[in-house]
Every structure is written in structure tokens, then in C-alpha cells.
Chain A
Amino acid sequence: MTAPSRSSPDLLMFEEALPYEADGSFKSECPPDSKVKVEDLFKFSRTRGDLQVSIVAAGIALFFFFFYWTQTGWENRNLPDELGSYLAHQLGLIELDGRVTRLGRILKQSWVAPMLCLLVLVPAALWNLRLSLKEHKWRKRFLLPTSAYFELTKYAAALEFVVYFIVYTILVPVLGYLVSTLLLGMLLPWRLGYRSRQWMLRSFCSSLAVVIVFRTLLQIKTPISIWLYDQLPTALRGFMLTYF
């Protein structure tokens, strides 16, 4: 950038304030920020899908709030008749005569703890939603991108693997732990793109290692009624059930 020509002197008020070097190159007056901010580790800024998930979270909190009244024994509650005066007595304000219900008998009822939890959860969820909405409005105002489409594609991608896991879970009692693990252990890396022979060999060996270490050596429990093993002759069936 070249220095502006001093064609109209009344525009130039402070000559020393010109940021240009004598040779015309630009030098900023603000030195670069070279301090490492440890605070950056703790920095938190709301990302794109935040509003949607905050809405879902607030929805779940309200769902539990709605069902609190029927699902926690609130209907069977056992509170003293004159709640106002009981509370006042507990706070030390007034004296009650006669038998006063022990606070413990009230606290141990099953609805107390959920009430305490919801007292923390619902306001926090609504507060979080408010902050998220504020951030969202701010972004919209400054025409920053607010579409959560990319996030949704990521969630869908993750759901695919969730489905694989659930299928694996259903397959184990049918095909047995060894076969299902070998299948998952080889299909999953194949799906992820590791398709060379070397990788197939590595997948096979590592899933086999998992089965041997956890099932054969450590004898971790796996389902015992396995359809595939039941098709085998008895002796082999016993062996497979014990060791695989």
C-alpha cells in the first residue's frame, strides 16, 4: 500500500499517527499476540448442532418432570396434614405441640430424591436452552452459518455403526461369540476402508486374539444357549460352549 497523497491537507490531522513506514510498507502497531492462553484449553463455544440438542435435552428434562407425578410414588406420598406449619416448625419458626412427624420419614419416601434431582435438572436445562437460543440469535444476526445439516450427517453416520453393533449383539446368541466376533472384526474394518489383504489379515488376527484372551483364557461369560452350537454333535458342542 502506498501512502495517500497529501492532496487535501485538512484531512491529515495527526502526522505521527500514520502507520506507514518511510519506505511505504505497512507495519501494524499491535504486536502479534504471542502469549499462550492456557484458558484456551477451557474455552467453550457453542457449535452448530447445539441448539437442536439443547432443545432435545430440555424436552427430555420436561418429559421426566411431566412423568414425575405418576412414576415416583408421589401419589402415595405421606406428608403431614398441615404442610405450611410443618415447614415453619422445621425452620425453627414456630413450635408445634403433639407428635411431630420425623423429617426422616418424609425424606426416605421414594419421591424425594427425584424431586431434588428435577429441581436441579429442569432449571439447568431451561437455562442452557436460553443460552443456546441467545447464541443462535447472535449467529443469525451476524449472518454466520447456523445450519446443523453437517452435524446431522455425522450423527447419521454414527448411527450406522450403532446398528452394526446391535446386529452383532443379536448375532452372538445365534452364531456364538467366536463366529460373530470374527465376522464383525473383519466386516467393520472392511467397511471402514481397510481392504487390502494385509489389513484383512490384521483384522482377523486381532479379533481372534480378543476372543482367545477374553473367552478362552479369562472365561468371560457369553450367552449359553447358542443356536449354531446346538447344531453340532454333543461333544463338540460342550467344547465350543466352554471355550468359545
Chain B
Amino acid sequence: MKKITTLAALAASTVLSGALPAMAEYPEAPVQFVVPWPPGDFEDILTRMIAAEFQEQTGQSASVVNRPGGGDGPFPGALEVLDGPTDGSVVGSFVIGVPIVGPQIDIGMEEDSFTPVGIFLTYPFVLAASGDAGYSNMAELATYAQDNDVVLGHFGAGLTPTRASFAAAKLMGFEFADDAAFDLLDCNTLSSGDADVINTTLALIEPCLDDINVLANIGSEPIEKLDGVGTLAAQSGVNDIELWNGLFVKKGTPQEVIDVLSEIASATMASDEAQQLMAETGARVYWQGMDVSAARIETDRAKSAELDDIIAK
């Protein structure tokens, strides 16, 4: 019921209005990092690292709250952060879809609802096919698809990597016979024949990496682990938009909060643990501060619109 959340927000804002001048020392209260996905995936692991570092550095308790949106993805969790206070006690860990697709669907989010603290993770999305398929890169797939049915498996038609794949197909002159949205795409999907080409993260197909053909990787740089696999952008001419994850706070949060968070998060990303995650899984772990991130979001907005144009043609 909306009434309860409004009641909570009302309570929070009355506190805020009374205590604002004393906001000299952040953080004053326990901080919650909201991850709008179920626990266990990359962004969850890295956000937990950030929270642990935060707790250590500032002495204030920091916890990670998983707020999975079920079928609706990150949006319910993002709306939670939107309903929260602007004193930096609720920080969101969002994927690119939230600032870019969020304002386009009718849920009350604007393009400037969130201020980025920084971007720290690029998911290692790839296009893969089973080992005995008749193609091992995008060009061969294009030829194959002219005469045969190729079915694409993905995590959702509205997701950035999926749209990149569709746009790439359009640019290369072929069409997927059909596509299906899965909740989990891994080795079994390919071996059981549920999809011919899948659009998934590297970690999920790790166990059978030797038996499958990775056709392309979706991002701006090739993944080191996979040598010989070109980026989708290079092979098809589509733009190099990536699926990334970053920390966000609600618009209106004081700069001081952003600075503290930025410092701690960049330290976390440079740590051995995070770098090891990168080496093992092919995810790219880095830190881009507030201004760089804001600029990147704007360019990505344009790239995303470009993808939509290509698909719609």
C-alpha cells in the first residue's frame, strides 16, 4: 500500500528537515546499499565488497539489501531508492537499464532522478553457440542464417545486450527466426537445444567454454580470456554500448555524500579481491567518477536510441 511507504517517507523527511544543518558528518546513520537483483551475481558481490569497505572505513554499519523485482528486473528496487531520503543513507547499485530505459517506461522515473556516484563494472556479455554449430563468428552466422533457422536466447528483449544483438543482425543482413527470453542461460541451454545462439555472461558458460563457440563479445573491448573473439561492434558495425553497473544516489543528495562514497568505492575496485574477480570471470572492474559517469550515461542514451532506430527500421 502506498500509504505505508508515504508514511515512512514522511517520517524520514520530517527528520531531515529538522536535522539538515547538522549534516556535517556523513555517514551518521546505518547506510543501505540497494541491489535490485537476487543475491549472488557480480554486482551483488562487488556491492557487498563496497559495503564491507564502507563499514571498515567509516565505522558506520553498511548493509546490502537485495530487492529483486521478480520479472520486472531492477525497476522496483530502483523505485525504492527513489522513494528514499536524500541524505545518503540509501544508495542504489543499478545497471544501465535504470537511468536509460527507466524514464521511457511509465513508472515515475525521470532522466535526472538519480545522480551517478560512479560506474564500476562491465558485465562480460557474449554471444555463444554450441561447438557443433556451423559457424564460429558473426560473419559465418550471417551466412548460415540466410538458409537456416537460428533461434536467439536472451535475458529479455528490452535489455541492452539483446537489442545490440538484434541491431547487429539487422546491420549484417540476417534475421533470427525467433527469440526467447530465459531466466538463466548456461551450458545446458546450448546442449539441450533450447536456443541456437545465446546472449549471456561469460561466467554462466564457463564450465563448457572449451566445447562451445563464442561468436562475439558485447562491449567496447575484447575480453582477455577469450582470445580470437572480436567485439560485436567490430564484427557488425553496431555501436559499442556495454551493460554496466554503477552506484547511484537520489537527486539532491549532498556532494559530500557522493565524494565519500566515491572514495571508498574506487578503493574497493582497486583492491586485490576485486581485481581477482575481474581476472577470473572476464568482468571488467574499474572506477569512473561522477562526471565521467554522467557523460557516459548521456552517450549511452544516444547509443541506445540508435539501437532502437536500427531495430525499428
Partner-B contacts on A (CB < 8 A): 102, 104-105, 108, 169-170, 173-174, 219, 221, 223-227, 230, 234, 237-238, 241-242
Contact = CB atoms under 8 A, between A and B. Distances in A.
A48 B119 CA distance: 62
Given A234-B28, A242-B30, A221 B63 contact: yes
B89 interface: yes
Q: List the 10 closest pairs (A to B, CB-CB), nearest first.
A: A225-B12, A230-B15, A227-B11, A242-B61, A173-B8, A104-B178, A102-B178, A241-B30, A225-B8, A225-B11
Given A238-B28, A238-B29, A225 B15 contact: yes
A221 B9 CA distance: 17
B63 A225 contact: no
Contacts of A169: 4
Interface string B52-86: 00000000110101000000000000000000010
Given A224-B30, A238-B60, A174 B11 contact: yes
Contacts of A221: 63, 65
Q: How large is the interface on B (under 10, 10 to 19, 20 to 34, 35 or more residues)?
A: 20 to 34
B177 A238 contact: no
Main SS of the interface on chain B?
A: mixed
B105 interface: no
B180 interface: yes
Given A224-B30, A238-B60, A104 B11 contact: no
Contacts of B85: 225
B32 interface: yes
Nearest to B180: A108
A221 B4 CA distance: 17
Contact of B11 (A173, A241, A242): A173
Nearest to B61: A242
A105 B4 CA distance: 41
Nearest to A170: B4
Contacts of A102: 177-178
Given A174-B11, A230-B11, A237 B29 contact: yes
B3 to A, nearest CB: 9
Contacts of A105: 178
Nearest to A223: B8
B20 interface: no
Contacts of A237: 29
A105 B90 CA distance: 41
20 contacts: A104-B178, A104-B180, A108-B180, A108-B181, A170-B7, A173-B4, A173-B7, A173-B8, A221-B65, A223-B8, A224-B90, A225-B9, A226-B11, A230-B15, A234-B28, A237-B29, A238-B29, A238-B60, A238-B61, A241-B29
